[in-house]
A = this chain, B = another copy of it.
Amino acid sequence: MAGHEPYLLEIEAYLAACLGGRDLPENLIGACRYALLAGGKRLRPLLTMLCCECCGGERSLALPAGAAVEMIHAFSLVHDDLPAMDDDDLRRGRPTVHIKFSEAMAILAGDALQALAFDEICRSRVPPAQVATVIRELAEATSRMIAGQVHDTLGGLDPLDSPRRQLEIIHRNKTGALIRAACRMGAIVAAARQRELEAITRYGEAVGLMFQIVDDLIDVTQSPEHTGKATGKDKEAGKMTFPAVLGIEESKKEIDRLHGEAREALGVFEKRGAALSALAEYLATRTR
């Protein structure tokens, strides 16, 4: 992501270090590190840092919260890949955790990453009142993320809702909630004012849903060689996606609408919103 290299280097360094110095079994830490340090866009911690800066905070303040969000994201991928869930053997071109280690280790490493995420936030140097607020954000987003996964794979949605409404509920929870929380946590550690927190929330909600629609489009329009993972998988699995429900053209329009919404939300920040605006632009137009 253009211009974000310094942030991404800081995030990688922090993630690589933050599992060290804990009195936990080597094999468990090894599996956690394998899951956490597997590349990836680091979108969530990047959002936490940029939202913190946008609200006037020093970006290093946001690193523990950003790392915690990334640990939650990593834990969800490890469990989603399990045989009883999506049953995936590969992720980002490498064997998934249960293939590389064992199914039992994948269950336990995912569980540990969730616990370590909450532990990580407690280690940050922001005041306790903010720590408690940040933890509440993360805990709520984590249960909403799990709710989205339940809706997506095990049902439980209101059958009277339109397919489009059902799809929005799934994605606002499954991907959206954690992206929204990543943004809000950055604002909270920066001690943002109410008006700023509201703007960041609007931005996070727009970007979170947009991210998923772009992802769905990439799945139907790009080759596996291009994306580095199996594509067309959603359709194969019979999953509801935006292109399947709205069509490709309507999905693109929805991306434009959400992109506009994200830009508009940043208005209150004037020039300080430039980095978040550039990130939204990148997320709207990415092809992998």
Residues of B within 8 A of A149 (CB): 108
Q: Is A28 an interface residue (CB 8 A)?
A: yes
In the complex, residue of chain B having the shortest beta-carbon distance to the beta carbon of A112: B146
Q: Is A84 an interface residue (CB 8 A)?
A: yes
The answer for the CA separation of A140 and B103 in the assembled complex, in Å, is 23
On whether the beta carbons of A119 and B139 are closer than 8 Å, the reply is: yes
On whether the beta carbons of B147 and A135 are closer than 8 Å, the reply is: no
On whether the beta carbons of A139 and B111 are closer than 8 Å, the reply is: no
Please judge, given known A-B contacts A82-B107, A85-B107, A135-B118, whether A22 and B129 are in contact too, CB under 8 Å: no
CB distance from A15 to the nearest CB of B (A): 17
How would you classify the secondary structure of chain A's contact residues: helix, strand, loop or mixed? Answer: helix
Q: Is A159 an interface residue (CB 8 A)?
A: no
Tell me the A122-173 residues at the B interface (CB within 8 Å): 122, 128-129, 131-133, 135-136, 138-140, 142-144, 146-147, 149-151, 153-157
Q: Is A246 an interface residue (CB 8 A)?
A: no
> Which of A82, A103, A114 is the most central at the interface, judged by chain B CB atoms within 10 Å of its CB?
A114
Residues of B within 8 A of A111 (CB): 75-76, 79, 110-111, 114, 142, 146
Interface size class of A (residues with CB under 8 A): 35 or more
Copies of this protein in the assembly total 2
On whether the beta carbons of B140 and A25 are closer than 8 Å, the reply is: no
Residues of B within 8 A of A22 (CB): 143
The answer for the CA separation of A189 and B286 in the assembled complex, in Å, is 48
The answer for the CA separation of A177 and B25 in the assembled complex, in Å, is 15
The answer for the CA separation of A139 and B149 in the assembled complex, in Å, is 23
Q: Please give me the 6 A-B residue pairs with the lowest Cβ-Cβ distance, nearest first.
A: A84-B103, A119-B139, A25-B156, A122-B136, A115-B142, A128-B129
Q: Which residues of A contact B (CB under 8 A)?
A: 22-28, 75-76, 79, 82, 84-85, 102-105, 107-108, 110-112, 114-116, 118-119, 122, 128-129, 131-133, 135-136, 138-140, 142-144, 146-147, 149-151, 153-157
17 contacts between A and B (CB under 8 A): A22-B143, A23-B144, A25-B151, A25-B157, A27-B154, A28-B146, A28-B154, A79-B107, A79-B111, A84-B107, A107-B107, A108-B146, A111-B111, A112-B143, A114-B115, A132-B132, A135-B135
